[in-house]
Structure formats: C-alpha cells, structure tokens
Structure 1
C-alpha cells in the first residue's frame, strides 16, 4: 500500500515537471514570436516608416538660419549701443569667437557624449519616450543636436511623435554637418532668458561684453541657462537660482577633465556675490538709437530692421554721450528746487552735420516726467535764441554790425482787427541808440523787433528755413500764424534743428545736413550704404556767417547783460553762443560752438509748466552747455 502511494506520487511529480517544461517551451516560443515580430516591425519602421515620415519634415538645411537676426547699432568707434529685434534678440558669431570654456561647459552639462554619438543618445531617448506612459508626454534625454532641431525646426510640443521627428532630423543633420558646425548653430540658437537668444546676445545682456571675452565663471553661468532660462536668469523671480545650476556645471566640467579641482573651487567662490550687468543697461543712448531706428525703418522697412541682422555704424561718440548724459542729470538735480525737472542736449560736428551726442532727457527710464520723450526732436519755443536769424537776414539786406537802431519804447501797429504790439526788453529798460552788435550781444528785444519789421518776416523765415529750421517753412500758413514776435521766439523749433542751423554760423555759411548713420552692412557682409561726411551747400554768405559768429563770441558785446565772467565766456577759446528764454519761463536755451563743435541745450519741464527762476548765462541751460562744450572740445 505504501509502495503504491509513493509510486503514484513519483508519477505526479514527473508529470508536473514535464508540464512545466512544456509551458516553459511554449512561453519561449511565444516571446520569441513577439520578439521576432518586434524586430520585423522595427525594421519596417526604420526602412519604410521613417523615410516616409521624413518627406513631411522640414529640410535639415533650414537649421542654418538665414533670417531672424537682430540689427546691431554701433557708435562711430564700433561700441555697441543696442540691438533692434522683433521678439528674439539674436546675433550670430563664429565658433572661433566662442571661448573654449563656454564650449566645454555646454557639452559637459548638456550632452557629455556629443562628440561620439550620431545625433541621439539611445538611453536618453528611451528614458524620454518612457515618460509618455508615466506622465502623458515625452521629455528629457535630448542631445545638443536634438535641442537644436527643437529650437529651430520644430515646435516645443511634447509628444512621442515630435520625439520621432526630432530623431529623424537629428540623424540627417549629423550626416550633413560637422560637430563644430552643430555646436556653433546650437550656441547661436539656444535660449538664455528673456529676449536673449544665442551666446553673443546673452553675453551682452548679462555681462556687457562680447562672448569671446567670457571667462570660466561667466561661461559656466551661461551654459546652465538653456535648460530653464526663466528660472536660472538673474533677472527672473529666482535671481540666485543660477548658483546651484552653475555649481553643477563646474562639477561636470571637473569630472570630464576640462578643469581642475582648484579651478572649480576658485570659480565657486565667485558665484554667491557675482555681479551681473543691471537689467536694461545694455540700452545705450536710447533716444539716439530710436532716432536711428526711425531712419532705418523709413529706408529698409521694419521687418528688415528687426530680423535682417544689419550692422549699423552711427555718428555717435558713446564716450561723449555718456558724459553729456551724466552732466545733464547732475545739473538738473541742482536746480530741481527751481522747478526745472528736465534737460536735453545735442552735440554736432558743424562741418559735416554728424550727430555726436543726443540726450533726449535727463533719464530715459524715469516715468515721472515722460523720460522716453525725446525733447531734442520736440517742438518748443526758442525765445531769444531765434534772433540771430533775424540779424543774418538784416545783413543780407545791407545792414551792418555797426548799424544804429533806437532802443526806445515803441508801438508796432497790429494790422486790421489785431491789437498793437508793444515789446519790452528783459529788464524793462531802454538804452537809446545802439549798434546791431550791442543789440544782439545783449539780446535786446526792441531792436530785434525793429530789424524783423525792416527786413520782413518772410525773409527771416526763408533764412531760418534754408539754414535748417524745418518747422517754420516760409509758407502762407506759417505767415498766417506768426508775426513780429517771431524774432523773440514766437514760433516753435526743435533743438536738433536749431543746433544744426547755428552750425552755419560756425562753419562759414554752409548748411549742416544732419547725419546719424555712417555705414550699413547686411548679414552677409554686403555694404548697403556708406556715407562720407562732407560739407553741405552754402546757405549764407561767409562774411555774414562770420559777423554773426563774431558778435556771439564777443564777450564785451554781451557784458552789460551777462557780466564779464558768465558761463558763456570760455577762456582761451573763441566760442560763439546765444541764450534764449521764453517770457513765461517755460523754455530756456543755450546754443553755441565753433568750427569744431556745436552744442545745443534746452531745460524746462515736459508738461510745459513754468520754471520758478532761471537766469540765462547763469543758471538753467548755460552751466550744462559750458561743461559739455568743454568736454566735447577736449583734445581738439
């Protein structure tokens, strides 16, 4: 009995073993079948599906950007002022201008196998695709080549299909371009935060320098941004997040043998208190840049300016510009208690009309008084600074600097239906018989009105217009709205025009055709325009220009009104200068110069409210003018 039970038990065990072997064989066969089908499917996908899919993909040639580059505005010495762009500020550079540390840091943190793979990382791709089944979208595992494809050729959509497209294009690009070409394209296309795309724009934005001048720390900082620029940018809501990210970059660089432990530690010590360029400080000479942009858009169109990658060399002297801006801010701060809140400056080369400096307000980014308004191109009343055009017209009519005129109380008939006109001098006094030289030098009002009455309003308008006052053409419409008070500033002019018109007095009578742009080169290096500054056409007889300039530089001729040691007297130099103040003290001007430099200054308030107290030749525009004319003539 016992024997039979044991025998049956051995048979059952043997049967179970045989059954397990059969099941195991079946499973192997089953898995082999599915494996074979998978291999066949992958083969079909690679041989048929991928090529078919590639027909609907962008050409890999399009990875080389042909447009979408920002236009770079430079000063006359090649210093960067600003980049004009649509939505993305991008300036392409050659890989030879990218520092080694930057290239090494980027490869170390983004794609350590960049130089050995063929455009994709198998493990990274599998890891990325696996996210489809865990989070509903694919992410991660992208090589530099794949990131380049995503940035330039595909959308930022997260899906398995886009990953496949990315894979196909990456393989095609790897076959077509060298590794250095791919790295160059990536570094010119990567996002670095805000509007900064590409390392050159990023370097200028955050450090105020060209990418070729980046050191190890700066290279490591920038290399960490593309992964999540909205977080790692120091201008973001997490301004210190870059520290941890840069620490990772430096560690990777050390692990891959690019830097030593000592270099890593030295770089890490700089991170916590690293100083970035102030946000927005890369916008130099903003009013001038906007003036140039308007000119460019009129010539080439807005789309070309925003995406064509032009390089524009301007007439501006950035060093002088920054000094002038500083002087305006300092001097206005000194007189704000007198209700003077703003100032503007123009510096020209009177021989050629080149704009060397344009300060449109004391501070561009101040919202309290519309700092972005460019007062150099705004219409304001010039006060007595308009008088030289009246006296130049008188010279053309045969009057001389010694012509005598009576400075006495005078009533000028207003004409039919108009009130009489009774001008008064700034001090309410009368001086009797005075020569033109004395009358102009001391800025007497009654003699100026008598001279415009004698030579005619239209003649004065023609003289001013020919010299560059574009806002007062000698037309019937202008004549219908101005009268004898024109000579005292009864019309409106622009500081830029007024300074340009005065240049004819300083240069011997030729019109200063205002120039802001010297050279324009397109993205391919083709010169679109190049201007050689030259003297303009003659608009005033040289002897008349000399006489006006001589009177305005004669310190003794103005000493009764301004004193012998006013701000207008420049010791050791012959500088012609004229001031102007409107009767209601809303505008105060000083315009002056010599054959080398012309400087125009305005002070007042953008809201047109009156100043409390301003004295021409002592306060207001004159101190600003004096400092800037001396600065502009230094070394000449």
Structure 2
C-alpha cells in the first residue's frame, strides 16, 4: 500500500507512476539498477530528483547525489540478502537513461522554489504526506504576461550573446512576489531551462569592487594610495603604471582590485563582503573576489 501512494517526485505518486515517469516502463519491468534508483527517491524526492539539471551530474547525466543514493540502496539490498555483491556492482555500473519529460506545471520555477522553502522549514514528510494546502502571492495572469515579455525579448537577448533570461516582480509595499520566471523555458534543455537563474549563485563581477576598496580603506589605504599596474601573468590587459585609488578607474581596472584583495587579505575581503550583504550564504575561497 505504501509503495502505491508515496511520492517519488515530478508529480509521481506510487512506484508504478514513478517507473512510467522516469523509465517509461511498468514497475514490474524495472531491473535492479532502476529499482534501486527509484527506491532511493522516497526519502527526499526533490533532493534526489534524477531529472535535475542544476546540480553536478555523472557522465550518464544522473545527479551525483542521486547516484550516491542508489549506491546506498544497493548496499542495503546486498546487506539484507536480496542481491549479491556482484549484482550490486553490476547494477551500479549500469548505464541508466532517464526519460526526458515535459513538465506541465504552471510557473514551474515558482512551484519548485516554494517546494524547497516548505521542505526546508517543515521537512519532506510534512510536505509530501501532510496533506498541505499551500497558498502563495503569485499572480498567475501577471506571471504569464511577464513570461510572454521574456519570450518577446529573445531577439534582443540574443544580440547580447545570451541565450537565457529570468525576471521577478515584487510588490514594493508588501514584499509579495507577484511574478517569478527562472528561465525562458523550463523544458528547454539546450539552455538548461530547469536551472533557476533567479536563485542561482553567480560571480558578482565588478559590483564587488567597491566592497574590496572599502576594506582596503579600513586597512589604511586612501584615495591617493598608488599600486603598481605592471605586466603580470594573470591575463593580457593594458597596463597604466602607478594608479591612484580614486574614481574613475581606467578600464574598470581588475588588476588594482586584485592587488587590494592581496593587501587587505582575502579572508578580510570575504568577511567584509559578508558584513555588507547581511548573509551567511557565503562559500570559502576568495581568490576571485576582485575579478
């Protein structure tokens, strides 16, 4: 009974629906490798979703976390005598082809975003088995219009050398999210459409430089301080000799920012960045902060 009702992700409730969804076959026709992969989804369907494109994947295209979960299931099957160790090794090495399917949800990136928030706050069991009714601030009509604006902007986007775009609309008075489109097309694999650009972490680019400069000033430098702009092995860019810190900066100068990171200390630059953005969602390693 449990196997026929539990959620396996991607709108699939029950092992038969999961087999059809991921492998386009009946559950009775699954082999050991496929059965182990599906069985591993139950604990956290969103985390182990084999169709995800926004995480690291194996050469077969399977998310690494999903493959690791499959390995755990195979290990348990061996431990309890359902299969031999050789069968487990063969199953793990087997090439698995996940069926490409079109997601028919309205506003899929928004749905996934809300799903992740609820799962983080209340847990997977409550989310998938708690019978929740979730109400959000999204305006479907407005969101559809905004999505159409994105589609109509494709020619302009392509002239900038880009293939994808996203947008979000927020009520400035209440903070309510009214529209949320994480890509041009969720189902377009050629642009990694399943990746939510709105919530993906990206390099800050030159916008981080004022933060780096401010940390350098805290460490004793000032607008009149000079740094060497001489040839280096970083990249082939024009050089300008001694440069002062004050604006404007020639060519949005990256080398000076790099030197300031070294002067201030990479760790200090990173800590200052954290102080500025009021968030703990940082990752270690500050070598590229100035670029």
TM-score by length of 1: 0.26
Does structure 2 conserve the Cα–Cα contact (< 8 Å) formed by 1:409 and 1:424? no
Q: Structure 1 residues 353 and 335, CA, compared in 2 at 3 Å: closer, same or farther?
A: closer
Q: Structure 1 residues 350 and 397, CA, compared in 2 at 3 Å: closer, same or farther?
A: farther
Does structure 1 conserve the Cα–Cα contact (< 8 Å) formed by 2:229 and 2:256? no
Structure 1 position 445, deviation (Å): 1.4
Q: Give secondary structure in 2 for the equivalent of 1:487.
A: coil
Structure 1 position 461, deviation (Å): 0.8
Task: Provide, for residues 95-147 of structure 1, a one-character-per-residue CA deviation record: whole Å limited to 9, x for no partner.
Answer: xxxxxxxxxxxxxxxxxxxxxxxxxxxxxxxxxxxxxxxxxxxxxxxxxxxxx
Does structure 2 conserve the Cα–Cα contact (< 8 Å) formed by 1:405 and 1:434? yes
Give the helix-richer structure, 1 or 2: 1
Matched, 1:455 2:261: no
Structure 2 unmatched ranges of 5 or more: 15-101
Q: Corresponding residue for 1:438?
A: 248
Matched, 1:362 2:184: yes
Does structure 2 conserve the Cα–Cα contact (< 8 Å) formed by 1:365 and 1:372? yes
RMSD between aligned alpha carbons?
4.2
Note the 1:206-605 alignment, pairs <5 A: 283-284=106-107, 286-314=108-136, 316=138, 321-336=143-158, 339-345=161-167, 357-397=179-219, 403-406=223-226, 409-410=229-230, 421-422=233-234, 428=238, 430=240, 433-439=243-249, 443-466=252-275, 467=277, 472-473=282-283, 478-479=284-285, 482-483=286-287, 485-488=288-291
Work out the CA distance in 2 between the residues paired with 1:323 and 1:422: 45
Q: Structure 1 residues 397 and 317, CA, compared in 2 at 3 Å: closer, same or farther?
A: farther
Structure 1 position 319, deviation (Å): 6.2
Q: Structure 1 residues 395 and 327, CA, compared in 2 at 3 Å: closer, same or farther?
A: farther
Structure 1 position 423, deviation (Å): 5.6
Task: Provide, for residues 528-582 of structure 1, a one-character-per-residue CA deviation record: whole Å limited to 9, x for no partner.
Answer: xxxxxxxxxxxxxxxxxxxxxxxxxxxxxxxxxxxxxxxxxxxxxxxxxxxxxxx
Larger-Rg structure: 1
Structure 1 position 409, deviation (Å): 2.5
Q: Structure 1 residues 367 and 308, CA, compared in 2 at 3 Å: closer, same or farther?
A: same
Does structure 1 conserve the Cα–Cα contact (< 8 Å) formed by 2:215 and 2:269? yes
Work out the CA distance in 1 between the residues paired with 2:144 and 2:173: 23
Work out the CA distance in 2 between the residues paired with 1:361 and 1:321: 13
Q: Corresponding residue for 2:61?
A: none
Does structure 1 conserve the Cα–Cα contact (< 8 Å) formed by 2:183 and 2:194? yes
Work out the CA distance in 1 between the residues paired with 2:244 and 2:274: 28
Structure 1 unmatched ranges of 5 or more: 1-67, 69-83, 89-278, 412-419, 489-636
Q: Corresponding residue for 1:222?
A: none
Give the strand-richer structure, 1 or 2: 1
Note the 1:120-135 alignment, pairs <5 A: none
Task: Provide, for residues 249-284 of structure 1, a one-character-per-residue CA deviation record: whole Å limited to 9, x for no partner.
Answer: xxxxxxxxxxxxxxxxxxxxxxxxxxxxxx977612
Q: Structure 1 residues 435 and 361, CA, compared in 2 at 3 Å: closer, same or farther?
A: same
Q: Structure 1 residues 405 and 424, CA, compared in 2 at 3 Å: closer, same or farther?
A: farther
Does structure 2 conserve the Cα–Cα contact (< 8 Å) formed by 1:406 and 1:447? no
Q: Give secondary structure in 2 for the equivalent of 1:437.
A: coil
Work out the CA distance in 1 between the residues paired with 2:165 and 2:229: 35
Which structure 1 residue ranges, 4+ long, deviate > 6 Å from structure 2? 348-354
- What is the total number of aligned residue pairs between the two structures? 195
Q: Give secondary structure in 2 for the equivalent of 1:341.
A: coil
Task: Provide, for residues 318-374 of structure 1, a one-character-per-residue CA deviation record: whole Å limited to 9, x for no partner.
Answer: 566445433433333334366521123456689997656543211112233331122
Structure 1 position 289, deviation (Å): 1.7
